[in-house]
Amino acid sequence: MIPKLQAAGADVTTILSGRPADKFKDIDALPNPQFRQGLTIDQGDGGMSFIGTSLNIAQQTPTLVRDVMNMDMSGYDLVITDFEPISAWAAKRAGVPSIGVAHHFAFQHDVPKAGKYSPFMMFMNNIVPVDTPLGLHYDKFDQPILPPIIDETKLANLSGGEVDPHKVLVYMDFEDQGKLANMLREHPSHDFYIYATSNEADIDDGNIHLRRRSREGFQRDFASSSGLITNAGFTGTSEGLHLGKKMLVKPTMGQKEQESNALALEDLGYASTMTSLNAEKVAQWLQEDKSVKITYPDTAQAITDWIAEGSWDDAHALSDELWRTTTYDHS
């Protein structure tokens, strides 16, 4: 959304938190970037550690409160947050209007939710207070939520090329990569291109192709793959739907958001799911020949125009118009 806001004449400052500064991508492209510690999730082998995350929050909250109180909000007309807590609380403290644009805000509505609505999820839904929440999701679910924001610049070269029906892109960064590769070796009919931050070199071993972190390489293999095996993160699965890729998702353990994403994808018929690394489930999925291509509209531009109009109290019309222009191709 940032370049669209700038094109509309907005003077933008970017607040980033939740990870070290060197872990953020494309910092040079962000206007006036400022870094804060924020809150971090403790990721373990294949899942989130509830205890570790709770300890992180307990340890980091005093710094978060101090950052909120020290943030100078003079001169700002609006805060837009993608579930970043410091900017949201600073806006609330200073009386600056705030809009939340993120997948997590969709869970404030009646959308698929996995398991019980835990106290931790209730806490997460209240950790980022905003005046106007705009939740993003795969489907409208008869709620005033919006389609995913798709980075068309990133995906511009990912459609229209030749697709290899036996090539599968794999991105499951929080899984044990050795276990993952061994499971996929059991399916020699397909080539699996596995991207992970722990991969130190590009290695080809039979039908297993380990790849280092590379935006260009990832996009190239994404474009030519017929299928995607990934965790149930919202951005990657939304891009998979937009490109019409067959998907098999395994939610990261302990992350109710991802478990709910997997539930929604399965209920909608948009993807197959598995709860653990399961060779039989992979074999079954590889034999399937169905996918759905959803051409989502330019949600970021629509939100920018909506903000420029100044009518921030009602998202129903914005939601209705965006879903009216969403198209579906089932094959």
- pLDDT grade for 120, boundaries at 50, 70 and 90: low
Are both 285 and 301 inside the same structural domain? no
* Nearest C-alpha neighbor of 306 from the set 168, 146, 192: 146
pTM of the model: 0.88
112 with 157, same domain: the answer is: no
Structure letter (DSSP) for residue 251: P
The one-letter amino acid code at 311 reads: S
- The domain of 252 spans 152-294
Number of domains composing the chain: 2
Same domain for 243 and 322? Answer: no
Question: What's the confidence (pLDDT) of residue 119?
Answer: 60
DSSP code, position 193: E
Gap between the Cα atoms of 238 and 268, Å rounded: 13
Q: Same domain, yes or no, for 251 and 309?
A: no
Regarding whether 218 and 257 lie in a shared domain, the answer is yes
Please state, in angstroms and rounded to a whole number, the distance separating the CA atoms of residues 43 and 48. Answer: 4
The pLDDT value given to residue 23 = 66
CB 150 within 8 Å of CB 239: yes
Provide the CATH number for the domain around residue 83: 3.40.50
Do 145 and 272 fall into the same domain?
no
Among residues 330, 321, 252, 253, which one has the least CA distance to residue 293? Answer: 330
Handedness of CA 166, 223, 23, 275 (dihedral sign): negative
Rounded mean pLDDT, 34-42: 68
Residue pLDDT, tens place only, 93-104:
999 999 999 999
Q: How confident is residue 111, by pLDDT bands cut at 50, 70 and 90?
A: very high
Q: Which amino acid would we find at residue 307?
A: I
Domain containing residue 282: CATH number: 3.40.50.2000
Mean per-residue pLDDT of the chain: 88
Q: Smallest Cα–Cα separation from 243: which of 295, 169, 188, 287?
A: 295
- In angstroms, the CA 129 to CA 4 distance is 24
Give me the mean pLDDT over the 229-236 stretch.
96
Please state, in angstroms and rounded to a whole number, the distance separating the CA atoms of residues 309 and 78: 13
The least confident of 52-56, 82-86, 191-195, 222-226 is 52-56
Asked if 102 and 166 sit in the same domain, the reply is no
290 and 311 together in one domain = no
Q: Are residues 182 and 253 in the same domain?
A: yes
* Residues of the chain above pLDDT 90, percent: 64
Per-residue pLDDT band for 159 (boundaries 50, 70, 90) equals: low
Q: State pLDDT tens for residues 260-287.
A: 999 999 999 999 999 999 999 999 999 9
User: What does the H/E/C string look like for 37-55?
Assistant: CCCCCCECCCEECHHHHHH
Helices (H), 82-233: 85-94, 119-126, 152-155, 177-184, 215-224
**Does residue 138 sit in the same domain as residue 269?**
no
Q: Are residues 182 and 107 in the same domain?
A: no
- Whether residues 305 and 282 share a domain: the answer is no
**Given this model, what pLDDT does residue 254 score?**
76
Q: Give the distance between the most distant pair of CA atoms in the chain.
A: 61
| H or E, element range at 294 | strand 292-295
How far apart, in whole angstroms, are the C-alpha atoms of residue 17 and residue 132?
21
